[in-house]
Homo-oligomer: A and B are copies of this chain.
């Protein structure tokens, strides 16, 4: 599976309204014990991640997560942008995920960030 297909299957695991379909999509791409974190979550293993996704979808029924950037990778590290699209077509602010992918192509870690990264010129010194 290409890295793009892997990431898109992962996004499907956040998007399909059927829990069994989400689990099937995640099973294709998620390594055993893989860790998912974002500012509000820290889930280890597919089951914990699927529980988290179910909770998020319960708050936004019918919402989908779609990839909105190319997939860049080096040394098994991947970055891509994504967006939540609600049922009425509303798009939430773009997020960024950094994935770690093993030699077998399975995702061992996702580090997620929400929204854009605000600019700042730090004080010198």
Residues of A in contact with B (beta carbons under 8 Å apart)? 4, 8, 37-39, 42, 66-70, 72, 74-75, 77, 79-81, 96, 98, 111, 113, 117-122
Contact = CB atoms under 8 A, between A and B. Distances in A.
A109 to B, nearest CB: 10
A92 to B, nearest CB: 16
Copies of the chain in the assembly = 2
Contacts of A75: 37, 42
Nearest to A118: B70
B4 A117 contact: no
A42 B74 CA distance: 10
25 contacts: A4-B122, A8-B122, A37-B74, A37-B75, A37-B77, A38-B74, A39-B74, A67-B120, A67-B122, A68-B120, A68-B121, A69-B117, A69-B120, A70-B117, A70-B118, A70-B119, A70-B120, A77-B111, A79-B96, A79-B113, A79-B117, A80-B117, A81-B117, A81-B119, A98-B98
